[in-house]
Every structure is written in C-alpha cells, then in structure tokens.
Structure 1
Amino acid sequence: MSKAFSIPQRQSAVGILLIFTSTLYKFIRGFWAALAYFVLKRPEGDILLYIILGVSVLFVLVAIYSYFDYRKFLFHIDYEAEEFILKKGVFSSDFVSIPFDKIQQVNFKRGILQRVAGVYSLVIDTAGSKQKEVEIKAVNTEDANQIADILNSLKEGGNADAEILDETQINTEAKTEKFQEEKWTYRLSLATLIKTGLSSNFFRGFGLIFVFISTIFNELNQFFKEETSEWESQFTEDIGGVATESILFISGLIFLLLALSIFITTAEVFIKYFNLNLTQTKSSLDLQMGLRTNTRVSLKPIRVQILKIVTNPIQRRLNLYKAGLWVASSEENDKKSVIQIPGLEKDTIQKIKSFLYQSSETESGTIFKPHWVELSRRLIIGAIPVIATGILQYFINFIEFQWWILVASAYLLIYAIFQFRIYYSLSLKIGEEFITKSYLAWDETIEIVEIYKLQGISVKQPLWYKKRNLVHVVFHNAAGDITFRAVDKAVLDKMNYCLYAIERTNDAWM
C-alpha cells in the first residue's frame, strides 16, 4: 500500500473558484480608481459597450488562468528524500521542496468562501523564509488534518513509514487522542473581546484613517485633477478661517477622529480575534481564531523563541493581557513570526509560562538599568522634528506662529513624559536560564527569552560611551533581537556566562 500523499495530487476542485476570486480581487484592487472614474463619469454609447466587452474578456481570461493554475498545482510528500514537494506555475514551472527539518509550523486558515465550501487553506512555514513557502488554498478537513499530522510527526523525527489509515479510523483516533491530551482551554468571550478592542492602542486606528484618506485622495487625483484641486483649495481656506476663529471646530474634529479611531481599532480586534480558543494539550498550544479569516495554529514549546507579555493601565484593571509568541523568521519579514493572543487573564498567562518553561521564568537574577545618557539620546531624537519644523516656520511661515508654539509645546510635553516613563521603567534581568527585558510607556511590556535559544551576542561601545564605561548590548535570536542601550560595562561578565550557557547545552533551540 502506498504511503499517505506520496503520489502527486491536486487540491480540491473548489480551488478553481478560490484562485478565480483571488486573482479578480487583485485586479480590482489595482485598478479600483479607474473603475471609480468610469462609474462617476457614466460613459454612454460605444464607450460603455467597449467597457462591458473589456470586463467580459477580463473575466474569461481570469477564469481560464484559474483553471490552468489549478491543473498545474501538484503537491506530494517524498518520504525517501524527506521533503514536501510542490509544483506550480501556468506560464513557467516552479518547483518548491521543503526538507522536513526546515518546517517551522503547519497552520490552517479559512476565509469566508473556504468556510462555505468546507475546505481549509494549508500554510507551511519554514524558518528564515521571507514569505510563506507553501499555501494550498483548498484542502478538505480530513486531508488537511492528516497532512499536518504527518508533517509534524516527520519534522520531529517520527516514523516516516506509516501507511494510509482508514479515514474513519484517523478521525476517531485523532478525536480520542485530543480529548485525552487536552489539559485546559481558554475561550475569549464576546464581552471580553469588545473590552479588549476598546482598551487597545487606538493610535493604530488613527494611522489607518490617515493612510486610507491619503490613498483615496492620491488615486482619485490621477483621474480628477481639476476637481480635487478645487476641493483641496476650498478645504484649506475653510480650515484656515475656522482655525483662527473657532477652537471648537478643531476640538470637534479631533474628537470625531478619536471616536472613529477607537471604532476602527475595536472592529479590527473583533474581526481578527473573534471566537478565540486557546487549548493546551500534552505537547502543544492549539490556537483557533478569526471571523473573516479563521486561523488554526499548533505550537510546541521548542518553537517559541521569545514570549512577550503586554498590557496597559486600563487593561490591567480589567485583568486583560496580550501574549506574543515569537517563532523563528527572517529579518526581512518578522511580522509573520509573531502570534498575538489578546484578552487573556493573568492566570492564563501564568499557565502559558508554565507550559513553555519547565523552570520558573521568575528566577532571581542580576538587574541592570540604563545610564542617563540613554534618556538624553531619546530626548534629542524627539526634539529633531520640532527643530526642523521651526526652521521651516521661520523661512516659509506655513502656519501662524502661535499655533506652531502651541502644537510644538504639546508635542514636547507629551513626548518627554513618555520618554521619562520608558527610561525609569527600563530594566534588563539576566538569570541562570532567562533574560528578561521590561519597559513601560503606555503599554507595559515584558520580553522573556531562554538563554540557550540565543544565537549570538553583540556588544558595541561608541566613543561617547567609553569615558562612562557604558556598552550597547544586542541579544540575537532566531525570532529577532533584544536590544539594551547605555548599560554599565559590568554586564560583560554576564555576557560571558550567557555565551558559556549557549555552548554547553545540547538542547535543540527550534
């Protein structure tokens, strides 16, 4: 009997529809401004006919491309070479081979169409890759679970000679094993999810509003230059007149943007983390979440390189914390390396720590604090925008002087308060098994890394550090770097210990 998935095969036939919608979406996203132009201009006669014919031809071409993309997409498991093999490409063939020992994790994702069709997107990540190595868009539930189980077993050095089991037997054994291994489950309730969204950093929502408005304006400006120029001039005149006459208008605008930012941030958290379920089994943390895109991830302790715990004053009062589990990634793309789990209670955070670390991460250790030179550096960096805008104000006078003074003073005050909070809260603790970095601005953050998972340590000493016996330390890890500036040179003794601890251990770091 042949081994499971040893023969090249295609994904589910519904993959044609998924490829079609994905390709069509890319076209619409790339040319939405042109589509908006034609809709607003309301073309008639021959022009309208040509547009309809062009759109029809586009649909046909995308459908043909989707079919051949589906036909050319083949995958299988090569047990002898110990690799997962993928062949794809319509106009040129692309071969991807992933050795079992390079597989970082196997995840499941599910968009709206995939839920309707009853299939999963199977994503295989490898350590150090710039993007997803393999994504199979349409795999039925049974095959997805079986592929994940086989690859997870093989990457851990399991038995590669297992034969295909009966489908019913696979499902029964998997459910029984999961039931027996499950130790605890945390479910994020709807009320907790909303509280998490309302108490999150709403500055991200403000940034999204700014980027959205800027993108819309720039795209429309390419097709409606005259109209947008008139709108911009009129808006500038209105704002300029109102700003000098009424602070109430500016206050109302700021309040509106703030409310909209909070709403967007809450909606983003709701969509991304809806129905979050975190389960600890005997050997892994299993996470499932998401409304628009449902994601399933299974993490073993050895894969987690850095644990980051974040909260803020409001969330701490509500007993809400966010855990960030960082796994190995490339420097070019570290966003995909972190798995964020918000809305956790303090007891759940402690359970995650206990599972990830056999020994206590609260061990005693030597604590280092930064020198005041670090505070000076931060304050100087923050003053640069004020100096730059002050020079522009002197030569160009782009805003009334009293308004510039008001904005610059408010900025410097808020910036200085945050930097003083960060400076006085910054600490680096080095123990026998763990390195812990803590700091506080608005968010309170703790980063924990096991010493044996470090890949190296860099120590730098700029000229202005020498007289004060200060150094700049960087701990290199497969998931990213932990940096600590302007620390006393006495930390070098601990660096020697860390290097010794890295060399003496035989434990696998991933």
Structure 2
Amino acid sequence: MNDLLNNDKESTLQYGHWQSLSPIAIVYFAISTIKHSIGNFVYLAPALIAGYSTLKENPLLASVGLLVLISLPVGYGALSFLLYRFRLSDSSVEVRSGVFSKKHLNLPFERIQNVKFEQPIYYRLFGYSCIELDTAGSSGKEAKIVALPTSDAVLLKEQILSYAHHDSSAHNDKSVDAGSSTDKKQTSDEEILNTRSISDLVIHGLTSNRVWIILAALAPFYDNITTELASWMNTLGVDVETLFNPATRSMWQLIAFFIAVTLAIVVFMTLLSVLGAIFMFYGFTLSKSRERYIQRSGLITKREISMKVSRVQIAVRKQDWLDSILGRINLVFEQKSVTPQQGDAVMSMQQKLTIPSVKLDECHQLIDDAMPDNQMRELSYHPINKRFISRNILFRLFPPFIIFMGIITFQQQYTALAVSGLALAICSALIALRWKRWGFQIDQQFLYIRKGLFGIDYYCVPIFKIQQTLYRQSVFMKRLKLANVEFVLASGLVSIPFVPQEMATKLVNNALYRVESDQRSWM
C-alpha cells in the first residue's frame, strides 16, 4: 500500500518515525484544560464566593491566586505538548499522549470510520488544523492530532480514505465516513439540503435560551451577588438603598423597579444565548454527497461534521413551547452514543447532526430523506397508562412533601404550609401534563415515540437498528398488567413506560422479528 502515500503535494509528514507537534499545540491544550475545568466550576463556586471578601481585602493573595489559575492550564498545556508523539505508517496511525494518565492508541486505517477537522481561530491564523480520527463502532477509541499544517491534515485524510477505498473493494461490508477541510470548497456532486440564515439563528438562540435554569442555579448566591452589585452601583453614583427604600418609594414604583431589573437580566441572558447560537451555527449548510450528510458551521471555530446516511440511528424532532409559538423545530440526527472524556462537549456534538430552527415542512423533508417511508406526518399515538400519574405522585412526590409539611406544621409556619400545598398542586399538574405528552406508535419499519413537558419531542427509530430489547415489570406492575419497554440502539436507549402488558409484549416481539428478518446492517 506504499503507493497510497505518494502524493504530489509537499508534506512535512514522516512515516515510520515518532513526531512531535507544532508549539501552537500548547495553546490548544491550555484552552482545552480551561474548558474541562469550567465543568467543575459549580463545585468550586461556593468556596470562591465565600472567600471573595477575603481576597478583596488581600490584593497580594488575590494576585497570587490569579497567577496560579493562569499558570496551571499553561503549564499543563506545555507538558501535554512535550509528552505528545504520533507516528504514521502505510496502514496505521499511533498516538502517545497524557500527563498523569498515559495513553497509547494504535488505529489501523481500515478501522478508522470518521476523519474530522476542527480549526479554532488561532489555528486559522497560522494555517493549522486539528484532525480527529475515530472508529464509529466504539467509545473511547478516538485520536486527535491537534496541530498539523492544514495541507498535511488534508493529505493524511486523503491517504486514509484511499486506503479505505482499496480495502472496501475487497470487503463490501466496510465503509468509511470522512469529512474534508473546513477551508475546502464544496465538491460539485454535493446537494445542498438546508441552510440557515442569521434570522433563523437568532430565533434558535431565543428558543433555546435557558435563562430560568441559570437564575435558579444562582439562587444560593443571590445575597452575595446583590451585595456586590449594590456596591458596584454605588461607585457609579446610584444609591440602591434609596432607590428601593419602601419609606421613600410607593409600592408601584418598587414593583416597577423589580420588573425592570428582572427584564434587564433576562434580556442580557437572552442576548448571550443568541450570540452563542450565531457563534456555533454561523454559515450553516447541510449537504449530501455520495450517501453522506455533511454539516459545516462555525464563526470563531469552524467545524465540519460528516455522517453516512446509513449510520443515522434516530431522528428527533425537538420543539419547546416557544418553538411551538414561532413554528420552529430543532431536528437532530443521532449517530452513536459517546461518553465525552473530561467533559469534551465538542466530541459529543460531533456524534450528531443538529439542524437548528427549521420549519415543519423543512423538517419532514429532511426526515423523509434520511428515513424514507416514515409516517411521522400522519400518526395518532397510543397513550401510556394513567398509573404513571398516581405512581409518580404517591411514591416520588408525596413522601418528601409530607415530611416537609410535617416540619413546618410543627413549627406553626402556616404561610409556608399554604405555599407548600400550592407547590404540591403545581407539581402534580406537571406530572399529569407529562403523562399527557407520552405516546407511542409502531408500523412495519419504524417505532415512534412522543414525550415532553412544556414542549414535545418526537422520535423516529428504524426498527432494524435496535440492538437489544428490555422488558421490565415490577411486582406491582405485574398485578396491574403493565410493563416498561426499553430499546437499545447505538445512539443510546429509548423507553416507553407503563405500557399495557399485551402491547409491551407485542412491541418487543415485533422488534425482534424485524431485526432478525431484515438483512440490513445497523451501521
């Protein structure tokens, strides 16, 4: 296979020798370390907020702490760079990496399923790319060469694909899915299926805004936040105590000030959500070439995700309550389930295609292209049993509420008792709404599931891709002739709770029969 390595492009790649990365990889490793650390910030936030006043009174201690916070990721990035080595042969790539935990990967070219490119802005300035190689049937078998000249990265991709092409001609059951450079123009055989405009991305940012979740997470720190905010406003000449003093302000003024502050926070968080959507999906295109979907997007960091159509495991139609009002849908094609290492959200994202904020007709056209003959447009769903409501209320909701209400009754806090009763009623209503959203249906080729709370998600599952079925039935459910059914796919698990026993048996038997009788590969 040495002829596959011959290429008329100039390359700095060497074969048969261990090679190091470009020093710009230090920046990549340092930023990756910071991203991974952000996921643990929630555990450190209480300590940082509690010690803020101490740091404020000791500038020297604060300076030392800041210096340590900066030097740690830089130092770890430098060590990662020094300990990273890769070696290429005519049929495989090897990678040695790790500071505290050593890792040695050897990926034969014939097992590499995806070749993906990532170009952060600091790479684009100097002509470098990150190339990711993974085997689509496994988890944790991914390798990244994080700082190759873009021309070398493209050349390596072509060599891997050429090897796969020769190998697949002898083994028809193997196929390779690969991307192309983010700077490379779309080939002439690509068919553009969907594009997203800035206005579409703004709508996506609005509908995917999770400001209430963020505000709820910050609830324990409101006192510290308000104190620091008031201090900062005082330095600007705004007397917060006078502004919100009930002795000098009427009730309607206080309410107006409170509403104005709340709206300002919501608008600010919404703006961040919109900017995040634009940064992530700017220039979005979804195209199709040789039975492959290719998604390109990104403003600061350009990414390309490539997925073979046959590897789509589930199509998910996601629609929150605001999406329903605006008539938009977020469509997701899931490929496989991967547990991201150290919180690597990018790797997780690369295992699925997300088409943001599409209209209903666009959504169904894309689903029809990926899964012909599906009936999602015209389905009526079977509901699950109403025992779902009583079980969740009696066994999950009542016990903690009874304990809490007993405590506040003993303490004669009757106002809190009334508020708790109202909260119990609201939670019970939400459980009932959750039950109403649940539904399922099945035909000759697909399993359909509907679920949600304020919004509704619709799942379309090709039955022949099911790898395992689970039939769960507790003692109480058996007496009521109910069961929970679960289906395992490469992309994860889908479940239907509180199904009539006869229907659950029918779902499992039908799935097993279709899997055995259908000769198509799930990948």
- Give me the TM-score of the superposition, normalised by structure 2: 0.73
- Give the Cα separation in 2 of the matches to 1:89 and 1:489: 51
Is residue 387 of structure 2 the alignment partner of residue 373 of structure 1? yes
Q: Which deviates the most, 341-350 or 30-39?
A: 30-39
Partner of 2:150: 141
Q: Which deviates the most, 329-338 or 280-289?
A: 329-338
Answer yes or no: is the 8 Å Cα contact 1:123–1:136 preserved in 2. yes
Aligned AA (2:131):
L
Summarize deviations over 1:54-76 as a string: whole Å, max 9, x none.
959985x9878755643542334
Distance 1:471 1:22, change over 3 A: closer
Answer yes or no: is the 8 Å Cα contact 1:107–1:296 preserved in 2. yes
Is residue 285 of structure 2 the alignment partner of residue 277 of structure 1? yes
- Give the Cα separation in 1 of the matches to 2:223 and 2:136: 39
Is residue 118 of structure 2 the alignment partner of residue 109 of structure 1? yes
Alignment partner for residue 328 of structure 2, among 289, 302, 320? 320
Partner of 2:104: 95
Aligned residue runs from structure 1 range 324-403, under 5 A: 324-330=332-338, 336=348, 337-362=351-376, 368-380=382-394, 381-384=396-399, 386-395=401-410, 401-402=414-415
- Give the Cα separation in 2 of the matches to 1:390 and 1:356: 52
Alignment partner for residue 207 of structure 1, among 213, 223, 233? 213
Q: Which runs of 5+ in 1 are unaligned?
A: 161-169, 228-234
- Give the Cα separation in 2 of the matches to 1:340 and 1:212: 29
Partner of 1:502: 515
Partner of 2:84: 73
How much does 1:365 deviate?
8.5
Distance 1:384 1:349, change over 3 A: farther
How much does 1:384 deviate?
5.0
Aligned AA (1:498):
A
Aligned AA (1:318):
L
- Give the Cα separation in 1 of the matches to 2:518 and 2:500: 28
Aligned AA (1:208):
I
Partner of 1:469: 481
- Give the Cα separation in 2 of the matches to 1:105 and 1:269: 25
Alignment partner for residue 197 of structure 1, among 205, 209, 217? 205
Distance 1:111 1:347, change over 3 A: same
Q: Which deviates the most, 35-44 or 356-365?
A: 35-44
Alignment: residue pair count = 469
- Give the Cα separation in 2 of the matches to 1:128 and 1:282: 21
Partner of 1:268: 276
Summarize deviations over 1:173-223 as a string: whole Å, max 9, x none.
x85xx43321124221111211222233x4x3232344467589999xxxx
Is residue 459 of structure 2 the alignment partner of residue 447 of structure 1? yes
Partner of 2:493: 481
Distance 1:252 1:67, change over 3 A: closer
Distance 1:433 1:21, change over 3 A: closer
- Give the Cα separation in 2 of the matches to 1:317 and 1:57: 44
Distance 1:472 1:114, change over 3 A: same
Q: Which runs of 5+ in 2 are unaligned?
A: 6-12, 171-179, 232-239
Distance 1:150 1:301, change over 3 A: farther
- Give the Cα separation in 1 of the matches to 2:480 and 2:101: 60
How much does 1:137 deviate?
2.1
Answer yes or no: is the 8 Å Cα contact 2:408–2:416 preserved in 1. no
Alignment partner for residue 118 of structure 1, among 127, 131, 135? 127
Aligned AA (1:402):
T
Q: Which deviates the most, 248-257 or 354-363?
A: 248-257
Aligned AA (1:270):
I
Partner of 2:235: none
RMSD: 4.6
- Give me the TM-score of the superposition, normalised by structure 1: 0.75
Distance 1:366 1:193, change over 3 A: closer
